[in-house]
Amino acid sequence: MAEKASYLKDQDVKDFTKDIQQYNLGPLWEAIPEVMNKNPEPHAQAYLWAGELLEKKLMEAAEIFTPERGGERRAIYFQNPGLTYRQPWGHVSTTQTLYAAVQLLLPGEKAPSHRHSQSALRFITEGEGAFTIVQGERIFMEEGDFLITPKNLWHGHGHVGDKRMIWMDALDIPTIYNLGGTFFEPYADGLQEPNVPDNFSEKRYRGGMVRPVGDEQYDVAPLANYKWSRTVDAIKGLMEFDPNSNHGFAVDYMNPTTGKSANPTMGTRMQFLPQGFNTKALRHTHSTIYHAYKGSGYTIINGVRFDWKSGDYFVVPNWAWYEHVSAEDSYLFSVNDLPIMDRFDLEREEQYEKNNGHQTVTGEFKPDFR
Ligand code: GTQ
């Protein structure tokens, strides 16, 4: 936080500030050091939610809430403790710009279709046999799959299998809310019926590197499901060569018709960190929500050590120094707001130059329930 100028302590300045506030006016000289920071000073905090806690709370939620009865999803979101009472961000925010949640769908359950101006994505962490139906296409989901539902597309979920399904949701809810662009519409008839063959887009875009002839026009979601087996295959190819020093062996999910991020407002990444790998620390404007999909290790965020293992979720806020250390072979899935920062030309990045790119650990984060 910037040093407050000495004149702000003067009684006449204080009195004047109070005086104009009653007319809904404010003094710029007080606001500048608060909001026009030298560097990003996000209210979002670095934080970690333990997988055991999430599983326990989802199973409790299963007892008290059914998606069909509630007309909504059984999702529990990650509320960043730094954003709870802050305005203008309100709540329902995991970082300044992004929301993430875990969602549970049980065999036979249905989450009714709806559409909204927020873009959504899912990363499947457990189970199989459930589908999401996007614009009439049933897309069956399995562990490790990554799915997109860009803004304004009808989507709902159903489950015809026999095991519980758990996945991560991420949406740009805080961004759209604060931009004043929120629109939401429930589907009139519950869960939409299919109108194309199952897994249509996944089959048509199986090649990944090639585009079906006739698809020359830009499409918001030509490929709805990025299958785990293909993501792993791509990472295996990278592993024949040197890793990226900041990110290990990492791929970004792309829209195959545009070459841009798979979702218009959210970047998404899968990274493999072989056992004992320590990435070099960096910081950047954009914020990131991580899911430890497989393995274990820790991430040092501004000097604080966040131990993670498979099932955990954690946040790296804007402009925080961070580096990962893997204790075993690990896969991290992550969602970021780089496409939003890029849209506003705000992205900057810095490497941590001291100590060969590694921070000194000054504290440890103790998550609830561990
Ligand atoms: O599954 O469609 O966590 O619309 C938040 C909003 C999930 C969903 C969320 C949504 C969904």
Between CA 368 and CA 112 the distance in angstroms is: 33
Substitution site in 118, 131, 169, 313 for ligand 1 pocket (most atoms within 8 Å of beta carbon): 169
Q: For position 89, what pLDDT does the model report?
A: 52
Q: For position 220, what pLDDT does the model report?
A: 84
Say yes or no: CB of residue 133 within 6 Å of ligand 1. no
C-alpha of residue 74 to centroid of ligand 1, in Å: 9
Cis peptide bond N-terminal to 88, omega within 30: yes
Q: For position 33, what pLDDT does the model report?
A: 85
Say yes or no: CB of residue 46 within 6 Å of ligand 1. no
Q: How many CB atoms lie within 10 A of CB 183?
A: 11
Substitution site in 171, 175, 182 for ligand 1 pocket (most atoms within 8 Å of beta carbon): 171
For residue 213, being part of any structural domain is answered with no
Enumerate the β-bridge partners of residue 146: 123, 226
Between CA 292 and CA 308 the distance in angstroms is: 7
For residue 266, being part of any structural domain is answered with yes
Three-state SS for 335?
Answer: strand
Q: List all residues 6 or more positions away from 56 whose beta carbon is below 8 Å from its beta carbon.
A: 369
Query: Which range of residues forms the domain containing residue 137?
Result: 47-184+225-364
Cα 199 to Cα 67, 147, 164, 324: the distances in Å are 23, 12, 21, 35
- The CATH number given to whatever domain includes residue 286 is 2.60.120.10
For residue 262, being part of any structural domain is answered with yes
C-alpha of residue 119 to centroid of ligand 1, in Å: 9
Q: List all residues 6 or more positions away from 156 whose beta carbon is below 8 Å from its beta carbon.
A: 110, 111, 112, 113, 114, 132, 133, 187, 190, 191, 192
Say yes or no: CB of residue 75 within 6 Å of ligand 1. yes
For residue 252, being part of any structural domain is answered with yes
For residue 215, being part of any structural domain is answered with no
Say yes or no: CB of residue 164 within 6 Å of ligand 1. no
- CA gyration radius, the chain: 22
Mean pLDDT for back-to-back runs of 10 residues, the chain (370 residues) = 64 92 93 90 96 98 88 93 72 94 97 97 98 96 96 97 98 94 96 96 83 83 92 97 98 91 96 98 98 98 98 98 98 98 98 98 96
Strand order in the sheet with 110-116: 137-142, 128-134, 155-159, 110-116, 184-186
Q: For position 3, what pLDDT does the model report?
A: 58
For residue 23, being part of any structural domain is answered with no
For residue 134, being part of any structural domain is answered with yes
Half-sphere exposure of 118 (CA within 13 A, CB side): 21
Q: What is the number of structural domains in the chain? A: 1
For residue 34, being part of any structural domain is answered with no
Q: List all residues 6 or more positions away from 100 whose beta carbon is below 8 Å from its beta carbon.
A: 77, 78, 94, 168, 169, 170, 171, 289, 313, 335
Q: Which ligand 1 atom minimizes the distance to the CA of 100?
A: 3
Three-state SS for 363?
Answer: strand
Say yes or no: CB of residue 221 within 6 Å of ligand 1. no
Between CA 1 and CA 234 the distance in angstroms is: 43
The pTM assigned to this predicted structure is 0.95
Q: For position 1, what pLDDT does the model report?
A: 46
